[in-house]
């Protein structure tokens, strides 16, 4: 009789644990590019170490999956700090459409971004881009209009000083650059696609941005949370052969308010404890710091993430 009770209790325990282990959650991402690489790494680590199955949900740009996370039809998403803040507050790219149910889970890594040209071209400085063929439109990736505007603004220029070439999204802009249809594009230093562009063009070069105090203040208004800092050459990463000033901004993982504290806690824990696995996925994770995951971005954190950070002693609010 006791044996039967033990077996019965064990069976109940297995049934109780089963749904948790088999739980599937989604993470919004882009179809290609740096964001797809970042979210693929998160999904892999969460699935391997978080006791769940996390699956990337590719969509046509960040502005598509942010509302899905906000309305409860998707659990997680990743975006830069500017788009995340704009989305929560209903500003700029999300003007008139606030997403109050977006809650921060973690600061991820620092993205280093700037105007990219072929190494063999004449373009050495932002002022050289006057009259250049410039990608514009970005209906599927509107952030890149803001990044191009900000790049030109470092030298008091606008898109009107260039020749506009309509482009739908980021990757098409890179393909247009490789095909010689535009003169520059916005690139992410360390992104895998940059190597493909370098191979096609015989090398690439990031144009260095002015990082004076006046320009920094201007950029702070155009791209909240972004700064201009120097990147030193790395022979393994194309595009920077001399110290070069690029935009630096944090990339964020967020979850919907509807996601359980337990799920968010386990995702946070899996990332915190497995940096090596994340870095192995893409070099962009090299700047990831578990202790900085709880960085105060001026936005509300998900309670499940906050609980974990408090336990680890990194929550300094």
With contact defined as beta carbons under 8 Å apart, do 63 and 123 qualify?
A: no
Domains and CATH numbers, the chain: 21-110+251-312 (3.40.190.10), 112-249 (3.40.190.10)
What pLDDT is stored for residue 123 in this prediction? 98
Q: What is the pLDDT of residues 215-234, one digit of tens each?
A: 999 999 999 999 999 999 99
**Hey, what's the torsion of the CAs at 274, 275, 278, 283, to 10 degrees?**
-170
Q: Please give the chain's pLDDT, 317 residues, in tens.
A: 443 443 344 444 444 444 444 599 999 999 887 889 999 999 999 999 999 999 999 998 888 999 999 999 999 999 999 999 999 999 999 999 999 999 999 999 999 999 999 999 999 999 999 999 999 999 888 999 999 999 999 999 999 999 999 999 888 999 999 999 999 999 999 888 899 999 999 999 999 999 999 999 999 999 999 999 999 999 999 999 999 999 999 999 999 999 999 999 999 999 999 999 999 998 789 899 999 999 999 999 999 999 999 999 999 88
What pLDDT is stored for residue 192 in this prediction? 83
What pLDDT is stored for residue 22 in this prediction? 55
What pLDDT is stored for residue 282 in this prediction? 83
233 vs 249: CA distance, rounded Å: 19
Q: Calculate the alpha carbon distances from 113 to 222, 225, 233 in Å.
A: 15, 13, 14
What pLDDT is stored for residue 31 in this prediction? 86
What pLDDT is stored for residue 231 in this prediction? 97
- List, as one string, the DSSP characters of 51-75: SSEEEEEEESSHHHHHHHHHTTS-S
Q: What pTM does this model have?
A: 0.85
Q: What is the pLDDT of residues 148-164, one digit of tens each?
A: 999 999 999 999 999 99
What pLDDT is stored for residue 3 in this prediction? 38
225 vs 221: CA distance, rounded Å: 9
What pLDDT is stored for residue 2 in this prediction? 47
226 vs 51: CA distance, rounded Å: 35
Which residues are paired to 206 by β-bridges?
A: 116
Q: Which candidate, 178, 41, 209, places its Cα nearest to that of 114?
A: 209
């Amino acid at each position: 009789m006791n044996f039967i009770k033990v077996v019965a209790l064990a069976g109940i325990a297995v049934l109780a644990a089963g749904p948790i282990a088999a739980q599937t959650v989604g993470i919004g991402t882009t179809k290609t590019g740096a964001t797809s690489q970042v979210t693929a790494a998160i999904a892999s680590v969460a699935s391997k170490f978080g006791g769940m199955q996390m699956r990337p949900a590719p969509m046509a740009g960040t502005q598509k999956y942010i509302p899905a996370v906000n309305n409860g039809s998707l659990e997680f998403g990743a975006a830069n700090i500017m788009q995340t803040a704009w989305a929560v507050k209903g500003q700029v790219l999300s003007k008139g459409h606030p997403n109050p149910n977006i809650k921060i889970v973690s600061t991820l890594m620092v993205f280093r971004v700037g105007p990219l040209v072929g190494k063999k071209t004449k373009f050495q400085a932002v002022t050289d881009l006057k009259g250049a063929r410039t990608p514009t439109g970005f209906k599927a990736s509107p952030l890149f209009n803001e990044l191009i505007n900000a790049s030109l603004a470092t030298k008091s220029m606008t898109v009107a000083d260039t020749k506009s070439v309509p482009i739908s999204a980021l990757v098409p802009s890179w393909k247009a650059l490789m095909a010689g249809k535009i003169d520059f594009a916005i690139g992410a230093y360390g992104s895998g696609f940059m190597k493909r562009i370098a191979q096609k063009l015989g090398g690439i070069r990031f144009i260095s941005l002015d990082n004076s105090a006046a320009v920094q203040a201007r950029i702070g208004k155009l791209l909240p949370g972004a700064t201009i800092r120097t990147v030193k050459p790395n022979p393994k990463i194309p595009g920077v052969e001399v110290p070069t000033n690029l935009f630096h901004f944090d990339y964020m993982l967020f979850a919907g308010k509807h996601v359980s504290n337990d799920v968010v806690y386990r995702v946070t824990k899996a990332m915190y404890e497995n940096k090596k696995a994340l870095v192995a996925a893409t070099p962009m994770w090299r700047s990831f710091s578990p202790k900085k995951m709880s960085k105060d971005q001026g936005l509300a954190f998900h309670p499940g993430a906050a609980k974990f950070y408090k336990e680890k002693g990194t929550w300094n609010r």
